[in-house]
Amino acid sequence: MKFYIGIDPGQKGGLSLITNDGKAVEYERMPETPGGIYQFFTDALVASENQLVTVMESGGGGGSAVGTFAAKSAGLYLGYFRMLCAVVGVPLHEVHPATWKANMRVRSAKDTSIRMAEQLFPTVNLLFPRCTKKHDGCAEALLIAEWGRRKGL
């Protein structure tokens, strides 16, 4: 069975893994190290029996609201994922934020992503231990993976 990894890159982003029939298998905040990212991917490869497709948000730009550090951080994560997918031989599809958000009927406000992810994946809990608000990076990672699944990537 094909599985989909959804990636909302950046320090406050998230990773998700969903099945071909739209069930959330795993989701987590963006790991702090390249080793943590690699572990998520290798676990996903095992779970999917090497039937894995990766979908990553890219090309958002962010305008003047995005600081230099945030832009560099996002670029670093984009590079990690491009390299990792190339090394392990997993297809990587990049999608502009406006494209997947329009298709998934999500506005730019992060709370709309959280609401839609909770509707599509009612078993997920986006409120992590010791947090006071739900994690929008994980919500968006789930929605990005779902966008890829619906597109038949």
In tens, the pLDDT along 104-120 reads 999 877 889 999 999 99
Question: Which strands, in side-by-side order, build the sheet including 3-8?
Answer: 24-29, 14-19, 3-8, 52-57, 92-95
Statement: residue 143 has pLDDT above 70: yes
Mean pLDDT is lowest, of 22-26, 31-35, 100-104, 137-141, for 31-35
In tens, the pLDDT along 59-77 reads 755 544 555 656 666 778 8
What is residue 63's DSSP assignment? G
pLDDT of residue 71: 64
Tokens coding 131: 């947090």
The domain segmentation of the chain, as residue ranges, is 3-151
Distance of CA 42 to the CA centre of its chain: 16
Residues near 124 by beta carbon (within 8 Å), at least 6 away in sequence? 24, 27, 117, 118, 138, 142
Helices (H) and strands (E) in the chain, counts: 5, 5
- Give burial (CB, 10 Å; 0-12/13-18/19+) of 113: buried
Closest CA to 58 of 33, 82, 26: 82
Count how many residues are written for the chain: 153
CATH placement of domain 3-151:
3.30.420.10
pLDDT band, residue 7 (cuts 50/70/90): very high
CA–CA–CA angle 28, 32, 107 (5° rounding): 50
